[in-house]
Amino acid sequence: MQEAYVNINGIPTHIFTWGRWIEESLNDVNEIVVCITGNPGLPGFYTEFGSTLQQKLGGGGANLPVWVIGHAGHDDPPESSIREVPQLSGNEEIFNLDGQIKHKIEFIEKYVPRNVKIHLIGHSIGAWMILQLLRENSIRDRVKKCYMLFPTVEKMMESPNGWVFTKIAMPLYSVFGYVFFTFFNHLPAWLRLFFIQIYFWMFAIPRQFVGTALKYSKASVAEKVVFLADDEMSRVRGLQREIIEDNLHLLKFYYGTTDGWVPVSYYEQLKRLFPNVDAQLDTQRIDHAFVLRHSRPMAEIVSGMIQQNLR
């Protein structure tokens, strides 16, 4: 595994790779896997998923490089870095959905050669972003297949979790959120670590993600995460039927059965609208936030999908 912060659309962006670093030559590579995270877009949550996926693909003889990119502003570089992420205020166009899509387009066009086919993985809102990327011919022409995992591509506000976010979480954050995160980050490091470990213990989250969670708890990061989520609620409404119909052969959907963001009814509606769509329901009770507890089984499932679509 290699990782570093690189400038994408003017924002220091945390990139994780397995198999080949983004600045290494891809002359001998025909296909590559690029994963766009959900929200929060901290790729540190995807390390076990990316590592397992690359191992499984290598075991099948494919040996595809796997790259994970998070969202602009969701992962600040170390304090020692000379590069800083701009503040949210006055830069909303960089951190909203449109800005995040431009961020992903620049990453692909800058680092993926045009002759290399891309297997695009989109988790949650990453799946919606993939639909927008397919509007760009320069991206669409080099996409081999898109794997839409627990895809929040419609009616986010109307989902059970969307209702909780808009009616309860967002009003609370508007009043107390920034103050809470600012106060939390002024606590001694050992005390912040203690509270996060307690939270992880309560929800059975592996301790390996404590470091990433500490980054997520920064006020400057949390506000951008919440800002993007709020934009999702207002923007991700009706299903974008025309994009899906035009790209049906490129899309593979994977829905959960216990998903508060994407109820099973959304899967059933998709199947009614597009009887030939490549979509399936999870059978292992994998969570929407699969990277926290189910990275390995999800990586095994996705590696099987990719192997079916190799040259």
- The whole-number pLDDT of residue 216 equals 61
* Cα distances (Å, whole numbers) of residue 285 to 161, 259, 281, 293: 17, 9, 10, 11
Q: What is the pTM of this model?
A: 0.91
CA-angle at 98, arms to 68 and 5, nearest 5°? 35
- The whole-number pLDDT of residue 68 equals 98
| pLDDT tens-digit map of 95-145 | 999 999 999 999 999 999 999 999 999 999 999 999 999 999 999 999 999
- The whole-number pLDDT of residue 76 equals 87
| pLDDT confidence bin for 301, thresholds 50/70/90 | very high
Contact predicate 273/191, CB 8 Å? no
Which residues lie across from 259 on neighbouring strands?
Answer: none
Contact predicate 290/298, CB 8 Å? yes
The amino acid sitting at 37 is T
- The whole-number pLDDT of residue 185 equals 67
**CA-wise closest residue to 142 among 108, 179, 185:** 108
Question: Which CATH superfamily groups domain 2-157+237-308?
Answer: Alpha/Beta hydrolase fold, catalytic domain (3.40.50.1820)
| pLDDT confidence bin for 251, thresholds 50/70/90 | very high
Which helix (H) or strand (E) element contains residue 95? helix 92-95
For range 219-237, the mean pLDDT: 94
CA torsion, ordered 270, 276, 279, 281, to nearest 10 deg: 80
Q: Which two tokens stand for residue 306?
A: 């990719």
Contact predicate 120/34, CB 8 Å? yes
The residues annotated with a catalytic role in the active site are 124, 259, 288
C-alpha atoms less than 13 angstroms from C-alpha of 79 in its C-beta half-sphere: 3
| pLDDT confidence bin for 218, thresholds 50/70/90 | confident
Contact predicate 1/62, CB 8 Å? no
- The whole-number pLDDT of residue 200 equals 65
Cβ contacts of 129 within 8 Å, gap of 6 or more: 36, 97, 100, 101, 104, 122
Q: Where are the domains of the chain?
A: 2-157+237-308, 161-230
- 3-state helix, strand, coil split of the chain in percent (to 5) is 50, 15, 35
For range 174-202, the mean pLDDT: 71
Q: Which two tokens stand for residue 3?
A: 């990782």
Q: Is the peptide bond before 113 cis (omega within 30 degrees of 0)?
A: no
For range 154-158, the mean pLDDT: 97
- The whole-number pLDDT of residue 63 equals 72
How do 66-69 and 2-8 pair as beta strands? unpaired
Number of Cβ within 10 Å of residue 165's Cβ equals 22
Contact predicate 119/33, CB 8 Å? yes
Q: Where are the beta strands (DSSP E) in 65-125?
A: 66-69, 117-123
- The whole-number pLDDT of residue 243 equals 97
| pLDDT tens-digit map of 50-108 | 999 999 998 555 579 999 999 999 998 887 677 889 999 999 999 999 999 999 999 99
- The whole-number pLDDT of residue 202 equals 64
